[in-house]
Structure 1
């Protein structure tokens, strides 16, 4: 069990299939991955397990573990996964710190497919033995070209965000009654305003796409009812954040706001639009479905306390 020696071992690392394999070379070139953060377990010259962490180029430590695979033909595959993690984690992570979360994309129907379910549960079992616990399962969604996008119906007006203070105020207000697992968890430790500011600074402020893609939804008289943040992350055009203020929920405005965020990105002639929401956030999941977004896979997130 060892880290990669360098980029020249990417073919070895990619012998186990996963959708992120095609991004590994670019991630190494940009500093989002580093060879010492990419570990393999070998039996002779055969790859039997692997793990890799991802981080921002400017950070000295990884942000999350997002590649963890075990050859499912191995009789002791859970044990091999545990050994790999226990060997790699002390070398990759800073001593005394809580390990970053584990994120895994899985088939949308993984629970119904016996083989897929076994693979997912084996990985989760190995992670549980090194202290991780399931935090949330999310739907990963995609809008594809050719999917109809409704024109504005006149119920709402849309404009750009005036300044950071305005978006922070709206983000803070939408946290009241939120169904999002990350936000609910943050609110157990932080006041709503501070949680909103952290989300803004750690994620939204890092997007390099134009701020006028961020749209405020108002009633014809000018009262704000919600907002949507359309952006492009390191890989895809995305609906990064969307919310309706508590006083205006239950009126179907989420459909109008999501349509506006979709229109903003469609005007950029994008090949797709990605989004995600918690399995438990049924109103948001239903809105994406009505808007024609396809649930193409799910995301398992596990955390260490």
Structure 2
């Protein structure tokens, strides 16, 4: 089935298959429309339409999406369209947009795509926190921090998951995702003020995958400390381009990235399908 996809998609699918993140039976083709689903870590259910080439006909692409969702008996799925600032999928990716709506997807969230590049000023670490690698801690301790960070979160996905699946389920999924990332063992850390956990930052091989502060420590600028630590970790490892994303509505986190020297490079338009 991977052979039905042109390069570079075919090679990406083969690589993802070898990592346990996609399967041939998660791929579908209808004429010039192609679709592949993707899971964030081995053993997880597919959560996103990773490779979606709608072709010229939105009705054919909608039919392909519906077939894929029904065949895999999925209950929810995400599709992202990334565009430069000022563009909109309604106009600039019209066929894809119409195909998604025709298959029952809804455009719910707009996210800032952010980037820090080598040569830019590095954010300073104030030295207020000491850091411990998450892999050196007990699983229960890391899960507890993730559960506490989710309380009062402004992130759309987190709020939806809390409402539908609960904080413990969301924390477990996030834990498994972050532990599966391509990162050195000491990169994913929890920051402490004294003996009190303040929050965490989880860089992977090229991005700030997750960052958050527990409720009792919010309002003191600790997100800046955590982000500075995560960015410097990647920069010192030789990463020349660090990417991140956050909901447009999550203005405190967006402001922290801009203070840290990140620039907005685009908008990610996120569509959701739920059974």
Task: Name the TM-score class by shorter chain.
Answer: 0.7 to 0.9
Structure 2 CA distance for aligned equivalents of residues 34 and 51 of structure 1: 14
Quick one: distance in 2 between partners of 1:58 and 1:246?
31
The two structures, once aligned, show a CA RMSD in angstroms of 2.7
- C-alpha distance in structure 2 between counterparts of 1:84 and 1:261, whole Å: 40
Q: Which secondary structure state, in structure 2, belongs to the residue aligned with residue 277 of structure 1?
A: strand
For the 8 Å contact 1:160–1:212, the answer to whether it is kept is yes
Structure 1 range deviating more: 57-66 or 155-164? 57-66
1:216 and 2:199 correspond: no
Aligned to 2:14: 28
**Is residue 54–residue 63 contact of structure 1 (8 Å, CA) maintained in 2?**
yes
SS of residue in 2 equivalent to 1:212: coil
Counterpart in the other structure of 2:29? 39
Larger Rg belongs to: 1
Structure 2 residue aligned with 1:195: 170
User: Once the 2 structures are TM-superposed, how far is the Cα of residue 30 of structure 1 from its aligned partner?
Assistant: 4.3
> Aligned-pair distance for 1:24?
4.2
Are 1:214 and 1:228, in contact at CA under 8 Å, matched by a contact in 2?
yes
CA contact (8 A) 1:228 1:258 kept: yes
**Structure 2, gaps ≥5 residues long:** none
Aligned to 1:253: 222
Matched, 1:180 2:163: no
CA distance in 2, matches of 1:130, 1:304: 8
Residue 51 (structure 2) pairs with residue 64 (structure 1): no
**2:255 match:** 286
- Normalising to structure 2: TM-score of the pair? 0.84
**For 1:27, what is the secondary structure of its paired residue?**
helix
**Is the Cα–Cα contact under 8 Å of residues 106 and 120 in structure 1 kept in the other structure?**
no
Unpaired segments of 5 or more residues in structure 1? 15-21, 43-49, 72-76
Q: 8 Å contact 1:62–1:93 — kept in the other structure?
A: no
Deviation of 1:223 after TM superposition, in Å, equals: 2.1
Report the alpha carbon displacement of residue 40 of structure 1 after superposing the two structures with TM.
Answer: 5.4
Per-residue CA deviations over 1:177-203 (Å, capped at 9, x if unaligned) read: 1001111001112332232112212x1
Secondary structure of residue in 2 paired with 1:213? coil
2:35–2:65 CA contact under 8 A, matched in 1: no
Number of aligned residues: 267
Q: TM-score, normalised by structure 1?
A: 0.76
8 Å CA contact 1:39, 1:88 repeated in 2: no
Q: Secondary structure at the match of 2:29?
A: strand
The 5-angstrom pairing of residues 204-283 of structure 1 reads 204-219=178-193, 221-232=194-205, 237-283=206-252
Larger RCO: 1 or 2 (CA < 8 Å, sep 6+) = 2
In structure 2, relative to structure 1, the CA distance for the partners of 1:91 and 1:129 (3 Å cut) is: closer
For residues 155-170 of structure 1, the aligned pairs below 5 Å read 155-161=128-134, 162-170=137-145
- Cα displacement string for residues 237-260 of structure 1 (whole angstroms, at most 9, x for unaligned residues): 111111111111111111111000
- 1:17 match: none
